[in-house]
């Protein structure tokens, strides 16, 4: 499950902007080449936030996966480099390097990298099945990258080519002979596009790569993170059987063996792995040519039909439905506790929509249904004990569902007699159009009272929640409906629950969770997310669920006060004010003031971001001090000169970080190219770190240009006027500006909604013209299902392991 931050303005009384008279033929803009991708990147990769950033990697990996599907690749290496770039390498056939017949002045490889809808996926002879049908993948990556380096090993030759923001900067060049084969694409995300972050998260990539390894038995996918010196390998001979075992590691299985059925008909290959557990929710993950079809499709419909028909047929034949010979079990009851992976390979898949979320090939339904029905019937007959336990669980689920239905009917009759089916504590809105209405689920009566007073009652409804709702991960349907708070939420939304949920009946098209920022608030938010993900998944898929973002800070000076939503906004606020009073002196005594320094802020931020990206392995203060001393152009080929230059590193570090102790600096023996490197050992809080300083690698050209530009515009060291403090690094300068700006300001960090009165809550969190909401989306269903099972399920060990593995990453721990 992904949380995406958005500014949501939903005032129904806001009129559209008036149409002007300047719309002429000259207003029509024709975008050529990859220009359209850079102007509208979200159309191609979903967003320019973390989701879109990691999508770049997936696009390149998918090309390698297609080579594996074609039988030419069995090894994929994904590397996260220290400079922030990412490389994807495979041992496939390699992109063709010969000139293209229609474009004789360009190689086929260059066309693939620079032209949309160009690739081998359209040639039926090159790929029997493929996920990348639109041919925009790697060219989009090229367009949205600061630079790309392409390596191709093919037909005994090694070829290379470089690109900058989508445009080739060199021709495809031969670079010696080789017996190696394959393709390597290394790219640096462009911070002009990805302004929120350009730092890859290893955990996010690992989950997707692991998923691909499950779907392709025998394929080895390696993720190497040079920033942390961590390597993970994913290879599963068991395929999707291993996938189901992995998904159920936090659940108790009703049977030990994972059921696996497979078959091929009319060139369509179908594989299904399934296992029933003691859980009350079901998980069905579906894939077409390795593409995660999050909305299912004909292959899932075929599986469900076969499962229901086969299990009911077996139960009737064996007399396991004793109460009534004509009794049948519904598909929902049979699927209770089921974990299943459906994977099909289709030569020409037809997806509904650009997102490829749903398969539309009508013939696939019958093919999958026939394969599953035949193979599953044989399996049930061969394993009667397992079959009996599955049917018993389904019968219990059916009885619980019937009890829940009677409870609902009784509740409906009572509501009809009382004349209203809305909960009494709901403060409803005046607007009747659901598309204009929003409902706030607020933690506690106190915050709910403030929200009721501060809201715009025309279209904002408030539902206070008392305490914590039931953990639905551990509760059966009938017990869940017995929980008062859950019944209140269901009643307020008016769209039903589970299989009966109907999004068209929603009374509010925006459901906003508003809880405190403390531990209890996080727990309540997680319980609510679990409920909606398990019982109202269509609510999440439809984009109706949001999380309110109360401001994190209030900055006050005298009678003036301002609310800031997060650390980034606080930094921008402090930078703006810190520059007003900042005066520096260079080595000649000349002053550097706000006017001269203001233009360098963007450079300082970009530089700091690059250093922070490698801070998990290297010490950024060491690198900052070294570059400030001229380390970019240091004499790395002269050991003595390099040693002499490094002698100033200690005093520079003392100024940059007084709590960082330099313990040793050593010039290492020369590398194969004759250059030396510095090994720097530092000690902070009892922890020793090792940083290697040397010439920038060729792929770090952009970072080198950034350092050079900073060197020319802001030579170091400088002195802070008035205090005499010496500043030896640009990263240090940014921190000095931030610290100086804090003087005179009272900065309050909010913890919960109870610290705000009604007008403050409206002004900061509920006013559509100023608020920020986080939209809840499911990007990876398998990952979301796994995390809910681990955090909210019965199994203790997986939850303990999760806490232990993530404890060191916790910030602002509330104890």
What DSSP string runs through 731-783? HHHHHHHHHHHHTT-EEEE---GGGS-HHHHIIIII-TTT--EEEEE-S-HHH
Domain limit, last residue, from 382, 398, 414: 398
Q: Over the range 196-222, which residues count as b (16 or more CB within 10 Å of their CB) and which as e? A: eebbbebebbbbbbbbbbbbbeebbbb
The one catalytic residue in 175, 520, 709, 755 is 520
Does residue 116 sit in the same domain as residue 162? yes
Rounded CA-CA distance 314/320 in Å is: 8
Residue 629's Cα: distance from chain center in Å? Answer: 38
Rounded CA-CA distance 802/526 in Å is: 16
| Strand locations in 266-416 (E) | 268-276, 283-288, 291-292, 338-345
Burial of 166 (0-12, 13-18, 19+ CB in 10 A): buried
The bridge status of strand 773-777 relative to strand 545-548 is antiparallel
Tokens at 556, concatenated:
């006050």
In a domain, 770, yes or no: yes
CA-based end-to-end distance of the chain:
26
In a domain, 8, yes or no: no
In a domain, 29, yes or no: no
Of 408, 392, 273, 404, the residue nearest 329 (C-alpha)? 392
Does residue 226 sit in the same domain as residue 184? yes
Does residue 392 sit in the same domain as residue 532? no
In a domain, 518, yes or no: yes
Domain extent at residue 350: 240-398
Q: What is the pLDDT of residue 483?
A: 86
DSSP code per residue over 421-447: -S-TT-B--S---GGG-EEEEEESHHH
Q: What is the pLDDT of residue 699?
A: 62
Q: What is the pLDDT of residue 630?
A: 86
User: How many CA within 13 A on the CB side of residue 784?
Assistant: 24
Of 358, 347, 354, 361, the residue nearest 117 (C-alpha)? 354
CB within 8 A of 234, min separation 6: which ones?
206, 209, 210, 212, 213, 214, 220, 221, 222, 223
The one catalytic residue in 266, 317, 352, 518 is 518
Task: Residue 499: give its domain's CATH number.
Answer: 3.40.50.670
- Would residue 673 show up in a list of annotated catalytic residues for this protein? no
If one counts every other C-beta atom within 10 angstroms of the C-beta of residue 668, the result is: 15
10-residue mean pLDDT series, the chain (815 residues) = 49 47 49 74 83 91 89 94 91 90 84 74 50 62 93 94 93 90 94 88 91 94 88 94 91 89 92 92 91 90 95 88 69 92 91 74 93 92 91 87 68 42 83 94 87 93 89 84 88 86 92 86 91 91 91 87 82 82 79 70 76 74 87 90 90 86 92 91 88 80 79 82 82 84 86 80 89 85 82 80 66 49
CB of 310 within 8 A of CB of 281?
Answer: no
Tokens at 322, concatenated:
């004793």
Does residue 517 sit in the same domain as residue 637? no
Q: Beta partners for 689?
A: 682
CB within 8 A of 16, min separation 6: which ones?
none
User: How many CA within 13 A on the CB side of residue 262?
Assistant: 12
If one counts every other C-beta atom within 10 angstroms of the C-beta of residue 805, the result is: 10
Rounded CA-CA distance 85/699 in Å is: 8
The one catalytic residue in 443, 473, 485, 785 is 443
CB within 8 A of 782, min separation 6: which ones?
207, 211, 243, 247, 285, 292
Does residue 439 sit in the same domain as residue 500? yes
Q: What is the pLDDT of residue 1?
A: 56
Tokens at 695, concatenated:
């010439």
Q: What is the pLDDT of residue 10?
A: 46
Total tally of structural domains belonging to the chain: 4
Domain limit, last residue, from 346, 366, 398: 398
Rounded CA-CA distance 195/659 in Å is: 32
Does residue 611 sit in the same domain as residue 678? yes
Does residue 574 sit in the same domain as residue 682? yes
CB of 113 within 8 A of CB of 149?
Answer: no
In a domain, 63, yes or no: yes
- Would residue 516 show up in a list of annotated catalytic residues for this protein? yes
- Would residue 443 show up in a list of annotated catalytic residues for this protein? yes
Does residue 514 sit in the same domain as residue 441? yes
The one catalytic residue in 516, 621, 785, 786 is 516
What 3-state class would DSSP assign to 529? helix
Does residue 143 sit in the same domain as residue 282? no
CB within 8 A of 696, min separation 6: which ones?
83, 632, 703, 704
Does residue 526 sit in the same domain as residue 485? yes
Domain limit, last residue, from 700, 716, 748: 748
Rounded CA-CA distance 82/615 in Å is: 9
Tokens at 106, concatenated:
């360009």
Rounded CA-CA distance 629/632 in Å is: 9
- pTM of the complete model: 0.71
In a domain, 416, yes or no: no
In a domain, 24, yes or no: no
Long-range Cβ pairs for the range 490-498 (8 Å, 24+): 491/415, 491/421, 491/422, 491/423, 492/422, 492/423, 492/426, 492/439, 492/461, 492/463, 493/439, 493/536, 493/539, 494/421, 495/536, 495/539, 497/535, 497/536, 498/332, 498/535, 498/536
Rounded CA-CA distance 464/443 in Å is: 6
- Would residue 666 show up in a list of annotated catalytic residues for this protein? no
Does residue 265 sit in the same domain as residue 351? yes
Rounded CA-CA distance 374/179 in Å is: 47
In a domain, 16, yes or no: no
Task: Residue 330: give its domain's CATH number.
Answer: 3.30.230.10
Does residue 701 sit in the same domain as residue 578? yes
């Amino acid at each position: 499950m992904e949380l995406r931050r958005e500014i949501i303005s939903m005032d129904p009384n806001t009129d559209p902007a008036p149409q002007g008279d300047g719309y002429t033929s000259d207003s029509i803009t024709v975008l050529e080449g990859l220009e359209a991708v850079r102007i509208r990147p979200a159309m191609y990769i979903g967003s320019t936030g973390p989701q879109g950033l990691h999508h770049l990697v997936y696009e390149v990996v998918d090309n390698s996966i297609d080579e594996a599907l074609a039988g030419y690749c069995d090894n994929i290496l994904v590397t996260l480099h220290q400079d922030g770039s990412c490389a994807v390498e495979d041992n496939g056939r390699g992109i063709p390097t010969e000139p293209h017949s229609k474009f004789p002045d360009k190689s086929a490889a260059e066309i693939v990298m620079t032209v949309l809808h160009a690739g081998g996926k359209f040639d039926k002879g090159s790929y029997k099945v493929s996920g990348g049908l639109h041919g925009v993948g790697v060219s989009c990556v090229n367009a949205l990258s600061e630079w790309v380096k392409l390596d191709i090993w093919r037909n005994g030759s090694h070829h290379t080519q470089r690109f900058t923001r989508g445009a080739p900067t060199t021709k495809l060049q031969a670079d010696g002979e080789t017996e190696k084969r394959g393709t390597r694409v290394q790219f640096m995300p462009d911070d002009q596009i990805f302004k929120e972050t350009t730092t890859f998260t290893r955990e996010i990539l690992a989950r997707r790569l692991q998923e691909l390894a499950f779907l392709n038995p025998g394929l080895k996918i390696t993720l190497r993170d040079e920033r942390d010196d961590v390597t993970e390998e994913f290879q599963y001979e068991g395929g999707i059987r291993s996938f189901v075992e992995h998904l159920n590691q936090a659940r108790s299985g009703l049977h030990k063996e994972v059921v696996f059925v497979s078959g091929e008909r009319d060139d369509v290959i179908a594989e299904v792995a399934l296992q029933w557990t003691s859980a009350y929710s079901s998980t069905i993950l579906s894939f077409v040519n390795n593409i995660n079809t999050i909305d299912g499709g004909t292959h899932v419909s075929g599986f469900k039909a076969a499962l229901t028909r086969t299990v009911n047929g077996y139960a009737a034949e064996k007399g396991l439905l004793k109460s009534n010979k004509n009794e049948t079990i519904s598909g929902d009851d049979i699927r209770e506790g089921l974990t299943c992976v459906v994977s099909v390979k289709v030569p020409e898949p037809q997806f509904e929509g650009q997102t490829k979320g749903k398969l539309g090939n009508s013939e696939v339904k019958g093919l999958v249904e026939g394969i599953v029905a035949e193979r599953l019937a044989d399996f049930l007959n061969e394993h009667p004990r397992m079959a009996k336990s599955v049917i018993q669980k389904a019968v219990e689920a059916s009885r619980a569902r019937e009890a829940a239905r009677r409870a609902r009917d009784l509740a409906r009759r009572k509501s009809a007699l009382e004349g209203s089916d809305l909960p009494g504590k709901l403060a409803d809105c005046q607007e009747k159009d659901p598309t204009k209405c929003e409902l706030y689920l607020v933690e506690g009566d106190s915050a709910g009272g403030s929200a009721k007073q501060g809201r715009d009652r025309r279209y904002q409804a408030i539902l206070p929640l008392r305490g914590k709702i039931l953990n639905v991960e551990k509760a059966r349907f009938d017990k869940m409906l017995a929980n008062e708070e859950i019944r209140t939420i269901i009643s307020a939304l008016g769209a039903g629950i589970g299989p009966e949920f109907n999004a068209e009946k929603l009374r509010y098209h925006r459901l906003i969770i508003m809880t405190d920022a403390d531990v209890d608030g996080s727990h309540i938010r997680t319980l609510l997310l679990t409920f909606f993900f398990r019982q109202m998944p269509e609510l999440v898929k439809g984009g109706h669920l949001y999380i309110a973002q109360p401001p994190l800070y209030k900055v006050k000076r005298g009678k003036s006060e301002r609310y800031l939503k997060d650390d980034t906004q606080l930094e921008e606020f402090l930078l703006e004010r810190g520059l007003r009073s900042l005066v520096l002196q260079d080595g000649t005594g000349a002053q550097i003031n706000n006017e001269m320094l203001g233009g360098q802020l963007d450079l300082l931020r970009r530089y700091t971001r690059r250093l922070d990206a490698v801070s998990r392995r290297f010490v950024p203060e060491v690198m900052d001090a070294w570059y400030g001393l001229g380390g970019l152009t240091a004499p790395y080929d002269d050991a003595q000169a390099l040693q002499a230059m490094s002698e100033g590193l200690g005093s520079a570090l003392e100024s940059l970080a007084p709590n960082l102790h330099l313990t040793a600096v050593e010039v290492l023996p020369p590398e194969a190219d004759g250059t030396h490197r510095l090994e720097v050992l530092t000690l902070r809080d009892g922890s020793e770190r090792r940083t290697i300083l040397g010439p920038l690698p060729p792929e770090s050209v952009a970072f080198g240009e950034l350092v050079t530009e900073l060197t020319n515009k802001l030579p170091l060291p400088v002195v802070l006027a008035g205090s005499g403090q010496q500043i030896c690094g640009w990263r240090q300068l940014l921190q000095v500006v931030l610290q100086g700006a804090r003087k005179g300001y009272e900065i309050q960090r909010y913890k919960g909604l109870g610290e705000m009165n009604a007008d403050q809550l409206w002004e900061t969190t509920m006013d559509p013209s100023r608020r920020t909401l986080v939209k809840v989306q499911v990007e990876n269903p398998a990952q979301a299902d796994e995390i809910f099972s681990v955090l909210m399920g019965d199994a203790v060990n997986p939850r303990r392991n999760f806490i232990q593995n993530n404890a060191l990453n916790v910030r602002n721990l509330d104890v």
